[in-house]
Amino acid sequence: MSTSTIETPTAEASGTLPTIPHWVVGERVTPSGDDVRFGAVFNPATGAQTSQVGFASAEFLHEAARKAKAAQPVWRETGLAKRSAVMFRLREIISSRAEELARIITAEHGKTVADALGEVARGLENVEFCTGLMHHLKGEYSEQVASGVDVHQVRQPLGVVACITPFNFPAMVPLWMVTTAIAAGNAVILKPSERDPSAAVWLAEAFREAGLPDGIFNVVHGDKETVDAILDDPVIRAVSFVGSTPIAKYIYTRAAENGKRVQALGGAKNHMIVMPDADLDAAADAAVSAAYGSAGERCMAVSVVVAVGDVADQLIPKVTERIGGLVIGDGTDPASEMGPLITREARERVAGFVEGAPAEGAKVVVDGRDHAFEGDGFFIGASLVDDVKPGMRVYDEEIFGPVLSVVRVAGYDEAVELINANRYANGTAVFTRDGKTARQFEFDIEVGMVGVNVPIPVPVGSFSFGGWKDSLFGDTHMYGPEAFNFYTRRKVVTTRWPEPSESQISLGFPTH
């Protein structure tokens, strides 16, 4: 298979830096004009700006939405078997070029190539689920609901939908949304994160190579101005969002006010309970993997270990020892296990949480700021903070970096109370060898995704993904079966074929 049609964007528009293009109706569109605003895209491992991305004006966005609307009827009329064939071809393109995509992710996000490959694999699950779109779009039929009357329900696409995605999974989260939206017959405008926008363009080109008609998958780059245009555009019927909680709430409110369907996933503070009967070596391995993988920039990262009884005294030395063995470096180095943070500001913000922890009464066991790095990359070491309590900044806020807090509690009930009192409710896990405790935890806990001896319980592609409380605004989860509900409207048709002799006038409300 040719690899020449999909390249890392290199078009030059202004200055000497490459400009990452929009992708509208099957073409790269390089922003031009004196009034275009640009964002800087960095290689976080070196700290150097590597490209720029032009932000779409409201006019540009509205024009792209109109073009998507004009293209959508052709796709809606395309037979389901042909749509499914596009998904099968897409699967082959992405899986055969996974490393190419992973390296694009690493170059702008900083995560290790191995981690980026994992992201691509999890995104592919959604493509695979959508190859079965013929099944997922099946309707329902009830025969003889009244004498000679049948009822059937079909699923129809919404038209044009928008997807707004965060920096931390520049391929996987777009694939969560875009695959199902397109499989269901919609046209899409994807507004990826302006920090690592190239993967989105790569995906759009891959869809085109898979046979998707032009205008069905469009990528429009931008910041708040572009997002606001999406939220106000009357052509766009639904908005899927993933990002931080304040923005998720804003998106949910403004899009809903404009009569759109919205699902807006927000931030997280994921707790992992370690019971006294747990295998503590396995729990330490899991805590370190889940807290520091991708430098903690995962919405399902574990950021709090809830140590029950005297578990902390045994667990902390094990976690500390493992932190000492972590290899932190450029994500393109196969030896690296953890890369840099996304920006210099993110690094300073994370350092601030560790710096402020002792004044609030917490104990910094491992200080990631002490880890020395060469060069100007946005690196920080892994931190471990003990004696953390609600009310401390390090506990209350989402850090989104490699900082693991330990909260000590007396027993199971206190652990559950702590988690259920938290405003975030994305993921959680219990580590125990007792099935009854695990079952009770599953029953008691007010969190959307739960792991039993699994620290990052991201549902596989045949289930749907979503947190509770401030981690999700809206009522449908993402990808999987719920996404087919989100991206379709159900239409119910009641049918009767009476004989002419059965015709009569009846002004009463129809009954059975």
Residues with a catalytic annotation lie at: 299
Residue 324: is it exposed, middle or buried by C-beta count within 10 angstroms (0-12/13-18/19+)?
exposed
Task: Identify the residue whose tokens are 């000492």.
Answer: 324
The string of DSSP letters for 414-462 reads HHHHHHHHSSEESEEEEE-S-HHHHHHHHHH---SEEEES-SS-PPPTT
Tell me how far apart the alpha carbons of residues 166 and 192 are, in angstroms, rounded to a whole number: 7
- 496's enclosing H/E stretch is strand 488-496
Q: Does 490 bind ligand NAD (CB under 6 A)?
A: no
Q: Please classify residue 36 by burial: count the beta carbons closer than 10 Å to its beta carbon, then call 0-12 exposed, 13-18 middle and 19+ buried.
A: middle
Q: Is 178 in the site for ligand NAD (CB under 6 A)?
A: no
292-309 burial, b at 16+ Cβ within 10 Å, e below that, comes to bbbbbbbbbbbbbbbbbe
Contact 123, 176 (CB under 8 A): yes
Q: How many residues bind ligand NAD (CB under 6 A)?
A: 27
Q: Give min distance, CB of 311 to ligand NAD, in A.
A: 27
- d(CA 271, CA 408) in angstroms, rounded, equals 12
Figure out which of the listed residues 18, 123, 401, 467 binds ligand NAD, where binding follows CB under 6 A: 467
In the complex with ligand NAD, which residue's Cβ is closer, 242 or 262? 242
Q: Which of 243, 381, 457, 474 binds ligand NAD (CB under 6 A)?
A: 243
Judged by CB under 6 A, does residue 347 bind ligand NAD?
Answer: no
Q: How far is the CB of 165 from ligand NAD (least distance, A)?
A: 6
Q: From CA 139, how far away is CA 124, in angstroms rounded?
A: 26
Minimum distance of ligand NAD from residue 182's CB (angstroms): 19
- Taking alpha carbons only, the member of 166, 168, 191, 180 closest to residue 248 is 166
- Note whether 491 binds ligand NAD by CB under 6 A: no
Contact set for ligand NAD, span 210-229 (CB under 6 A):
223-224, 227
Q: Applying CB under 6 A, does 122 fall inside the site for ligand NAD?
A: no
Q: Does 336 bind ligand NAD (CB under 6 A)?
A: no
Nearer to ligand NAD, 227 or 295 (CB): 227
Query: What's the start-to-end Cα distance of the chain, in Å?
Result: 60
Smallest gap from Cβ 167 to ligand NAD, in A, equals 4
- Interface stretch with ligand NAD, choices 73-81, 162-170, 318-326, 377-385 (CB under 6 A): 162-170
Q: How far is the CB of 370 from ligand NAD (least distance, A)?
A: 26
Under 8 Å CB-to-CB from 198, ≥6 apart: which residues? 8, 9, 20, 41, 51, 104, 107, 108, 170
Q: Considering beta carbons, is residue 381 or 467 the nearer one to ligand NAD?
A: 467
Among 43, 52, 131, 168, binds ligand NAD (CB under 6 A): 168
CA 399 from centroid of its chain's CA atoms: 17
According to CB under 6 A, which one of 9, 166, 174, 340 is a site residue for ligand NAD? 166
Q: Which of residues 248-307 bind ligand NAD (CB under 6 A)?
A: 265-268, 299
- C-beta of 245 vs 488, nearer to ligand NAD: 245
Say how far apart CA 507 and CA 33 lie, in whole Å: 64
| Closest approach of ligand NAD to the CB of residue 142, in Å | 37
Q: Does 206 bind ligand NAD (CB under 6 A)?
A: no
Query: What is the number of the residue whose Cβ is closest to ligand NAD?
Result: 243
Please report how close the Cβ of residue 294 comes to ligand NAD at its closest, in angstroms: 11
DSSP state of 138: -
| Site residues for ligand NAD per CB under 6 A | 164-169, 173, 191, 193-194, 223-224, 227, 242-244, 247, 265-268, 299, 398, 400, 426, 467, 471
